[in-house]
Structure 1
Amino acid sequence: MNPFELLSTFSTVIYIVFGIFILSMLGLFFIVKQQTAVIVERFGKFQGVRTAGFQLKIPVVDRIAGKLSLKIQQLDVVVETKTQDDVFVKLKVSVQYVVIKEKVYDAFYKLDNPYAQITSYVFDVVRAEVPKLRLDDVFEKKDDIAIAVKGELQEAMNDYGYDIIKTLVTDIDPDDQVKHAMNRINASEREKVAAQYEGDAQRILIVEKAKAEAESKRLQGRGIADQRREIAKGLLESVDVLNGVGISSQEASALIVVTQHYDTLQSIGEHTNSKLILLPNSPTAASEMLNTMVASFSAANQIGEEMKKVNPPRANKGNQES
């Protein structure tokens, strides 16, 4: 390419760029972004709606009257009202809405301030529904409040070209004093439940301990009974053995008692810190004890024989009378 052709091409590009700049300055064309609707008026009268892309208009004759976003938008409304139990509470209601693409004309020309319109309806519905409910019910039925707000808004705003996507009660904020009182009530209830559980646990421990002690006493009593039974058997066998070598029952019993006496002394002597003293504890104590017990047993036998002679058994007395 020779210099003249290069210069000619460069000049053409310059003219095109300059022409585009002049046309843009005159307002011949404009660009519409995605999810945006542009309202074009001609001599002050609605001419049309332009959507995303490269658009043309007649300079001076046509003008861009406004733009509307076709994206989902959210409006947060805080409403203060009173519940049925006279508690002031603030509710934050989030309204998600969108301009209906087919009703851009209505959304732009029928409603001057959609935010104020939506806010008014939210206030009206919330202040009509919440006073019917107690504070606890407001927390439990917040979804019902949101549904009521959406139903009212949907019916009203649809005529203005707006579609209500969702309404949410995102926050319920009672007065600070009420919140502190509710926290104290909940804490008291939890302490009450904890005390009940602790009382039940203590009662179970006492019952089980009593059952264990009763079982221990029963087993201990059985052991003592078995022990005494075995001691009696051992004494009986010892008496029989001593009788076999010519020792009388009284002497055998006395001998066994003396033997147990010495066993007791031996057991006491095994403990160095024992403070138990048996009286009498002289060297002749065992001999005197043996003589005393033999004499006692003999006297007891003689008294028993005399009583039998004076008062014979009833069975024998009945046989003599017959």
Structure 2
Amino acid sequence: MLEELVGAAVGVGVAGLAYVTAAARVVKQYERGVVFRLGRLRGNVRQPGFQLIVPAVDRLRKVNMQIVTMPVPAQEGITRDNVTVRVDAVVYFKVVDPAAAIINVEDYRFAVSQMAQTSLRSIIGKSDLDDLLSNREKLNQGLELMIDSPAVGWGVQIDRVEIKDVSLPDTMKRSMARQAEADRERRARVINADAELQASKKLAEAAHQMADAPSALQLRLLQTVMAVAAEKNSTLVLPIPVELLRFLERGAQHPDYQPVERSLEATQPAGEQSVEQ
């Protein structure tokens, strides 16, 4: 009799252990469990930790609650200003309602991927090339709203959307490079012209001051000679100021002006003049 009781107890223990083994489930910290009993949603979402279900009756599906990083395949499109571009992006999203993510959509990852691709093509068609290249933050916000609107019913929340790269045709790259080069050349010419204008104004002011003080021109000439001589050049070109030539011209036109040779002949004695003759 005792042996029968021991055998029954062992049998019950083994059956209980097998039942617990079949019914035990472990939900990780970043997961949530959704239980279906005979195909119908059962109770609340199971929290992380040790959980028990009814074997052969209940079915536990685990849903990852971590943020998912999903790259969006590159999409080709024509912008509003008729430029063919190729744009790829990346979507960050997470599940906020595990039951809705399992019941309302067949595969929420695939659904988010397809919605991101169609939204990206729509954004390309509505935007200009300059917006795609320089105003990405605004486009990212618009793309996020377009994806998040249907994703709310799937129990998914779009955390962030980023346009990763914009590829342009080689002809467009060369055209943009020529445009940038022309713009820089224009700015360089404007800066040079402005510098020439400022320099001419300063030179005009200096010329007026030198006209009031003629000795200043001689001092400036000496400074130029010193600057050239400091380079240890073998040839030195000494310019003659125009003012000096004008001074000599005014002296030649003066009635009291006499050449140097004639003044010397007038001062010599008559005997010496005859001897020379």
TM-score (norm 2): 0.65
Where in structure 2 are there 5+ consecutive unaligned residues? Answer: 1-9, 219-242, 248-255, 271-277
Tell me whether 182-191 or 139-148 shows the greater mean CA deviation: 139-148
Q: Does 1:76 align with 2:71?
A: yes
1:189: how far off?
0.7
Q: Does 1:135 align with 2:125?
A: no
Q: Does 1:209 align with 2:203?
A: yes
1:54: how far off?
1.1
1:218: how far off?
2.9
**Which one-letter code corresponds to 2:25 in the other structure?**
F
Partner Cα separation in structure 1 for residue 42 and residue 94 of structure 2: 23
2:59 maps to which of 36, 48, 63? 63
1:37: how far off?
1.2
Partner Cα separation in structure 2 for residue 133 and residue 30 of structure 1: 50
Q: Does 1:165 align with 2:195?
A: no
1:189 maps to which of 156, 176, 183? 183
TM-score (norm 1): 0.57
Return the structure number with greater relative CO, CA threshold 8 A, min gap 6.
2
Q: Does 1:114 align with 2:108?
A: yes
Q: In the alignment, is the contact (CA less than 8 A) between 2:19 and 2:55 conserved in 1?
A: no
Where in structure 1 are there 5+ consecutive unaligned residues? Answer: 1-14, 229-252, 262-277, 289-322
Percentage identity across paired residues of the two chains:
22
Q: In the alignment, is the contact (CA less than 8 A) between 1:93 and 1:167 conserved in 2?
A: yes
Q: Could you tell me which residue of structure 1 aligns to residue 92 of structure 2?
A: 96
CA-atom RMSD, angstroms? 3.6
Partner Cα separation in structure 1 for residue 59 and residue 113 of structure 2: 31
Partner Cα separation in structure 1 for residue 94 and residue 189 of structure 2: 55
Q: In the alignment, is the contact (CA less than 8 A) between 1:74 and 1:94 conserved in 2?
A: yes
Does the C-alpha gap of structure 1 residues 112 and 176 become closer, same or farther in structure 2, counting only changes over 3 Å? farther
Partner Cα separation in structure 2 for residue 92 and residue 172 of structure 1: 7
- Where 1:84 maps in the other structure, the secondary structure is coil
Tell me whether 81-90 or 126-135 shows the greater mean CA deviation: 126-135
Q: In the alignment, is the contact (CA less than 8 A) between 1:23 and 1:29 conserved in 2?
A: no
